[in-house]
Amino acid sequence: MASFALSFITPVACPNAVKANASQKPTARPCASLSAQRCSFLSARTASLTLANKRTCASSHVSYLTRMDGLQTPWEGYGGMQFYLRDEKKILEKSTLLPDQVLPMMESKDLILLDVREEDDFEDVHIDGAVNVPLYTELKDMDFKSIMKRIVYATNGMKGSQLNKDFVQEVQKKIPNKDAMIGVTCGSGGTVEASSTAGLLGKKSRSLISMYMLMAEAGYTNVFHVSGGMREWCTLELPSVGEDLESWKEKANSMP
C-alpha cells in the first residue's frame, strides 16, 4: 500500500522530457516546447504558472507573468486561432510586416501601429506614433481564483495579468475605421508557423491573439502582424522612444 501511494503522488514528467535512467526517479520539470502549454507548477485548470505562456518582460523594475487564459477560442486545432490566421487568412503570405517596413508606412499615414503590451511596458519603450491598447492588464479581479493567482505570482516575485475584457471596445474607440490598415505588435511577436523552435503549434503571442479578435470577432478587414515584436525592433536598433530605452535594448539583445 505504501509503495502504491508513493507512485501515485510521484510527479509525472512532461511528454517531451528526456527519459530518465532506470536508476533515477522521474522528476517534473517545466517543458520548453508544445507540451509546456499543459505542464504547470500547480494544475492545468488552476492558478498555475506555465512557462509556455510566460512572456519575458524587459522592464527594469518588475517581472510579469502573462497567462494567456480567459480566451473563448483555443489557439490550437481546427477552428482555433492558429488555424484561422495561418490557413484561412494566410497571414504569413498576405498580412505580415517586417520591422523595417513599419516606419515608412507610418510616416506616409498608410499604417496605424497598434501596440498591445501593458501600459508600463509601452512607457518603457515604444515606436513613436503607436497606439497602445493592452490585451492584458494587471490582475485586479477579486474572485477566489484571481486571489489565488495573485498569491502564486507574488510568491514567485511576479506580477500577474488578466485578459482586458474591454480590449475590442477600446480599439474601436481609438481606431473606429474597420477598413484602416493596422499593424499589431507586442513583446515577442510570436508565429503561426511550425518550426524546430516554435513546435507544431507555432508560438502564441498577444499580437496574434489580438489579430484574431480584431478580424474574426470585431470585423476589422485590414490587420497585419509585425514580426518579431519589440524584441526584434530593439535588436535591430530601429528608432524608438520611452523612459527606459537602454535597459530594454540590453535585455532585448540578451533574449534567445
| pLDDT one-digit tens code per residue, 82-108 | 999 999 999 999 999 999 999 999 999
- Mean pLDDT for 52-76 is 55
Q: Residue 96 and residue 92: Cα distance in Å, rounded? A: 6
Tell me: the pLDDT tens digits for 94-152? 999 999 999 999 999 999 999 999 998 999 999 999 999 999 988 777 777 777 777 88
Q: What is the pLDDT of residue 71?
A: 81
74 against 32, higher pLDDT: 74
Q: How many domains does the chain have?
A: 1
Of 74-78, 141-145, 205-209, 235-239, highest mean pLDDT: 205-209
∠ CA 91-51-27, rounded to 5°: 135
Compute the distance between CA of residue 223 and CA of residue 174 in angstroms, rounded to an integer: 15
Instruction: Summarize pLDDT for 237-249 with one digit per residue, the tens.
Output: 899 999 888 877 7
Q: What are the φ/ψ torsions at residue 97 (nearest 5 degrees)?
A: -110, 135
Who wins on pLDDT, 220 or 20? 220
Place of cell 519575458: 56
Residue found under cell 477552428: 79
- What order of strands is seen across the sheet that includes strand 131-132? 96-97, 223-226, 182-185, 112-115, 131-132
Q: At residue 78, does pLDDT exceed 70? A: yes
Q: Flag whether pLDDT at 30 surpasses 70.
A: no
11: its cell numbers: 510527479
CA–CA dist 33, 51 (Å, integer)? 9
Q: Residue 191 and residue 175: Cα distance in Å, rounded?
A: 24
Encoded amino acid at 128, one letter: D
Q: Residue 255 — pLDDT band, cuts 50, 70, 90?
A: low
CB atoms within 10 A of CB 232: 18
Beta bridge partners of 225: 96, 184
pLDDT at 5: 38
Please give the share of the chain, as a percent, with pLDDT higher than 70: 70
pLDDT for 160-194, tens place per residue? 788 999 999 999 999 999 999 999 999 999 999 99
Q: How many CA atoms lie within 13 A of 22 on its CB side?
A: 0
Q: Which helix (H) or strand (E) holds 132?
A: strand 131-132
pLDDT greater than 60 at residue 222: yes
Question: Amino acid identity, residue 68?
Answer: M
Q: What is the mean pLDDT of residues 60-79?
A: 66
Higher pLDDT, 52 or 223: 223
Sheet of strand 64-65, all strands in order from the earlier edge strand to the far edge: 64-65, 159-163, 136-138
Residue 245's pLDDT is 81
Which CATH number do you get for residue 54? 3.40.250.10
Phi, psi of 163 (to 5 degrees): -60, 135
Residue 68 structural domain: 2-254
| Helices and strands (H, E) in the chain, number of each type | 10, 8
**pLDDT of res. 254:** 67
Three-class secondary structure of residue 152 per DSSP? helix
